[in-house]
Structure 1
């Protein structure tokens, strides 16, 4: 039985009246309203402007997988499970406690009472089961890897293929208790519920605004009305408006069950360029932004900005799509690995505090293996292996290198610069590189995760919760459009490991899996970046989280 006290939002100073922020949307030259009256004693400007690097992919977190969407989702939605502040470990949120059976197949949650959704409807056991059954009953594009990414990766199957499904059923027991039964063991089940993708959403709003009526195709979806303009959760902020390419605006939910804090309005201003975000902070037109470039950190600190970093819980990798015939040759994959100088990459373009990666999990995650095969920088060995594979100066290995533009991610703060460094290293080893760029959302993500039309590519991951399956299981637990390989032995090992409830028994299984992955070489694990955030001096503290579980009620502002 888990009996940790409910996570509380810290009580901040009483906020003054909300102050409007007049923005020329997305424009660095925008300024706060010059007509705003002076704040009275003890009051703060309760409008908080945060610069996002891109639009959200969707306002429905259940069909999203990116950090910009989830940053907004965490303000609107809450799950049964949250995280302990400053860690990746699970903690009670909408569920005050839970009791799991010894075999991990049955989980009973005791729900927080007197919680309402933003539309005034009650959060209760029936609402919980509505959400679980919604995910389980997805069909068509909603059940695709591109849209139902997290449910697809973690829960494996749907009502249409129940033999593959991890989820079995959800049963209410009165208003404040619910039992979820699993069809297959999943040791990370409780921790996985802290993901924004599994936030509780209003059944009434989901039905009224036809949340699951997504048009188009999995590769090019047309969002539902709900996902574009009507998200309804239980969180401290409710949705007001979204002008794509410009702003997302949220306001405080007056009937929120927890502590509201000082902020009454949040504006996510879309500024795609990293330099423009820094300039906006320096000009005083935004309050903060994420993914500060390494070259900007000291300069902003010298100007008195409040700086904070997250502990590294990320992985940046160069992935090999084995749907490309050349990449099916292990010697080619070995050669590409030896061609990469990770130390140079880190020192040239990644943030201070970044750690070099040897595998696809950070060192703090269970199953990290110090004995895995490594491919230390050796361009001559890379050339030799390419020759063994049949590639010479007259017949070079030619690869498409996909990377996103006009975006920053916690694991990839500057993709253009990362591409420049890596492509030069590969070319020095004799690889002929053809760059292919796409905007991050939706084009790049859909190209990489929904189809085979991509080559080697940059991507990465910010861990969502502290479980090994959340890294290697998500990447390599089943056939995937991103990686393009079929490895039944690896898939089976990962399936077995995720169902072992004893940590002592799990650890050697994941150590072996990480060793297997290192020898199979699906890609090159490059680095574990440590993302840095910068804020206006009026920000006194910010709840930096290794898994980005950062709710803006916990921001403290100076008067």
Structure 2
């Protein structure tokens, strides 16, 4: 068939109009581990949040990029009653859920979706409550069920939360992906009828910046940009997470340009040559590396032995060997970047006093079990700790397992000691204390891996959360820090420096104080 010049030009114009407005290619991220699943409210690992939380789901509120400042999300504005008990959230109009081969939305996001998402976690009789096989660890750890009296739909775009008591961090908690993510009630209803609610974890649907396409287990997660995203379509066309567990392999893939973004370990950075295509961002997020001591186990139920474990650690040598100097020693469970951190607390280091406390505690020579995740840095950390403790007469056996298994088994209380890190989620001190050290979170399967319950400590948290006076809250949190320092349910190890490798083609990446990766505004240069 012959086409004249005018027809050719018309055809070319039509093709150009049909082409994507932002044909920016694929952003490939080297991830340090596989996601635990895609039903984000079930999980607590930071890596899972990066891969399966922020790309897929919108939260009721958001944080301004690079800060702990709250900003509108699905809720475009909110009203709070004078007594601090009633929160009315006004929902954004025009938000659409993803269209996928397994679900086609028939309506916009509205109050019904918010009620489904919250009541699924809040109401144990809700038909979708039991679909989360891992439970709702964050929801439980932040004591949300005890805090919320009711959730009501006032109109299709207005939701009311009524609390049982004032709670200063409440709004910030709604910005956490593991609590405030909004799911499509319509999709869940279809799955419920088909008895397939577990599909929320394998074929997810959200309203976030990227649409889930596929997951090759333990290898690759693929997303397409959400062309209908209410905040504007992402600058990149596709987002790919390539699971790359070995930190040295991640570094090499970044150097070769196979990945354009990825977490780097300190030892890998120390060996990198300057220049080339790779830039290394260094920043101090709200992160504490720590040891959780199972206070319910024999021997570790004695605070003297717990203090001995802390006193025996040579943190100066530890930081050089494990972090290549990219960390500072920790004394408080709260990192320095968070308000109310107590700088007067001092780190402990006295092997001789440790030996005396070991003897006073009646340590019988039993071998303690140290649980760690996979990775050369964690293995090196365990070896350093094991050697330090052997010098004061404490025997420790190291058990290595995948991170998901580590969190599951430590939640169940199988460990004596666990090497963990906590990444802050909302900029409030309560986010460190309640999920990790409160009595509610000490229940089996919860976030309190020390399984420590102290009613006077919980009373401090409760008083702090009821107050809106930051000076008063700071004083209460300083008291809480001193109690943890004295009782030692956890040993704060380090405040690590976060190291992120960026290809020089990457633009718009903003380091987060929560050490998470949000790619909705990231672009690629030619």
TM-score (norm 2): 0.88
Aligned-residue offset at 1:375? 4.6
Q: Secondary structure at the match of 2:142?
A: helix
- Determine the structure 1 residue equivalent to 2:302: 329
Q: Who wins on radius of gyration, i.e. which is larger? A: 2
Secondary structure at the aligned position of 2:202 is classed as helix
Aligned residue for 1:69?
48
SS, match of residue 85 in structure 1: coil
Higher mean alpha-carbon deviation, 240-249 vs 480-489, is at: 480-489
Q: Structure 1, residues 4-63: CA drift from partner, whole Å, max 9, x if none? A: xxxxxxxxxx9x978xxxxxxxxxxxxxxxxxxxxxxx9875111111121111101111
**Deviation per residue, 1:401-436 (Å, 9 max, x gap):** 1111149xxxxxx21121122111111222111111
Provide Cα deviations, 1:132-180, integer angstroms capped at 9, x if missing partner: 21211136995999521011111353xxxxxxx2112222233322221
Counterparts of 2:79 and 2:318, CA distance in 1: 46
What TM-score do you get using the length of structure 1 for normalisation?
Answer: 0.83
- Measured after TM superposition, the shift of residue 301 of structure 1 is 3.9
1:445 is matched with which residue? 407
Matched, 1:396 2:357: no
Q: Give the RMSD, CA atoms, in angstroms.
A: 2.7
Partner residue in 2 for 1:364: 337
Pick which of 427-436 and 494-503 moved more. Answer: 494-503
Q: Could you say what secondary structure the match of 1:187 adopts? A: coil
- 2:140 is aligned to 152
Q: Confirm or deny that 1:269 pairs with 2:242.
A: yes
Q: Distance in 2 between matches of 1:203 and 1:317?
A: 39
1:145–1:330 distance in 2 versus 1, CA, 3 Å: farther
Residue-by-residue CA offset, 1:294-324 (whole Å, 9 max, x unaligned): 4425615433302223433101001110121
Unaligned runs of 5+ in 2: 1-15, 100-104
Flag the 1:110–1:51 CA change in 2: closer, same or farther, 3 A: same
Change (3 A) 1:205 1:300: farther
Deviations 1:251-302 (A, max 9, x none): 1112111222321111111111111111222232222211333442561543
The answer to whether structure 1 residue 478 and structure 2 residue 439 are counterparts is yes
Task: Indicate the residue corresponding to 1:107 in structure 2.
Answer: 87
The residue aligned with 1:6 is none
* Partner of residue 349, structure 1: 322
The residue that corresponds to 2:161 in the other structure is 180
Q: Is contact 2:24-2:237 (8 Å) kept?
A: no
Q: Secondary structure at the match of 2:514?
A: coil
Secondary structure of the corresponding residue to residue 424 of structure 1? helix
The answer as to whether partners of 1:342 and 1:526 remain within 8 angstroms in 2 is yes
1:10-409 to 2 correspondences below 5 Å: 45-72=24-51, 73-119=53-99, 120=105, 121-138=107-124, 142=130, 146-157=134-145, 165-197=146-178, 198-210=180-192, 224-229=198-203, 231-297=204-270, 299=272, 301-350=274-323, 353-372=326-345, 374-391=346-363, 395-396=364-365, 398-406=367-375
Q: Please, which of 425, 442, 463 is the counterpart of residue 424 of structure 2?
A: 463
Deviations, residues 427-483 of structure 1 (Å, cap 9, x unaligned): 122211111111112x1111011x121111101211001111100122111151421
Question: Cα–Cα, structure 1 residues 154 and 375, in superposed 2: closer, same or farther, change >3 Å?
Answer: same
Q: Is the 8 A contact 1:403 1:438 kept in 2?
A: yes
Q: Which residue of 1 aligns with 2:484?
A: 517
2:5 match: none
**Counterpart-to-counterpart distance in 2, 1:519 and 1:130:** 43
Q: Is there any run of 5+ residues in structure 1 with no aligned partner, and where?
A: 1-13, 19-41, 158-164, 215-222, 408-413
